Structure 1
């Protein structure tokens, strides 16, 4: 399993719709089908989650283990976790064309922030990321995190 840590800046080429995954994170995408990644809208914030495909599918399998494929619960989980993902392959330089709907959801313009979340990393519009970090800092004033 991959471990994505740290935060690094990057850019979005709106004309080509392309991003370059920073080497800090690219080096953590490993295993069979190593250059395949899953992109999905975050269900919690205005950003994009990026997972190594094998790790994401293992997480999905764990969520539906023991459920009948005909059950409403199985179908609901699969709709949420598999129905709206994008499977992409990094080119040799670590670039991918960002699906337009994801770029629009996250408000991608020029500057981006790539931020590790352990099993996956997030891609944020840089201004939105700065706002979120400021909010978290204010929320944690004097905290132990």
Structure 2
């Protein structure tokens, strides 16, 4: 299965901590027969990651195969990824509910920027995203090197 989420979309969180998944993304999910998403903390970015459930299952299967429960760093990594994860079924309006813990982690209160990053979606507080990108920008040299290594 292949779904590409691209683009960015400004939205607002409603009073019940729900957000609308952009219609372009919902269409792709519907065509793939996906009605549940999994949300969790960004790995090292202050955002919420949103995975279509089959992609989440794929990732957790790979983690189970590659990580050892004997190694502490593996356990810590796995715990950080799964501890705050929550399954979120899409409601009839194409919305998901965000957990208070994840909203706190990402600094999301009302405004939100929904960013497609190919196989997953990132949810950001718009000011945090702008600040993060200013302090973590990819140099032109690094961009060119990656483009040459990956695309050519």
Alignment TM class, shorter chain as reference: 0.7 to 0.9
Match of 2:70 in 1: 72
Cα offset, 1:136, TM superposition: 4.3
Task: Identify unmatched segments of 5+ residues in structure 2.
Answer: 148-152
Match of 2:150 in 1: none
Kept after mapping to 2: 8 A contact 1:60/1:81: no
After TM superposition, the score normalised by the length of structure 2 is 0.77
- Count, aligned residues: 140
What does 1:30-69 correspond to in 2, within 5 Å? 31-32=32-33, 34-65=34-65
Cα offset, 1:112, TM superposition: 0.9
**RMSD over aligned Cα atoms:** 2.6
After TM superposition, the score normalised by the length of structure 1 is 0.80
**1:96 corresponds to 2:96:** yes
Cα offset, 1:104, TM superposition: 1.2
> CA 1:140/1:18 → structure 2, altered by over 3 Å: closer, same or farther?
same
- Flag as ranges the 4+ runs of structure 1 deviating above 4 A: none
Task: Identify unmatched segments of 5+ residues in structure 1.
Answer: none
Q: Distance in 2 between matches of 1:104 and 1:92?
A: 26
Q: Distance in 1 between matches of 2:61 and 2:127?
A: 35
Cα offset, 1:141, TM superposition: 5.2
Match of 2:107 in 1: 107
Q: Comparing both structures, which one devotes a greater share of its residues to helix?
A: 2
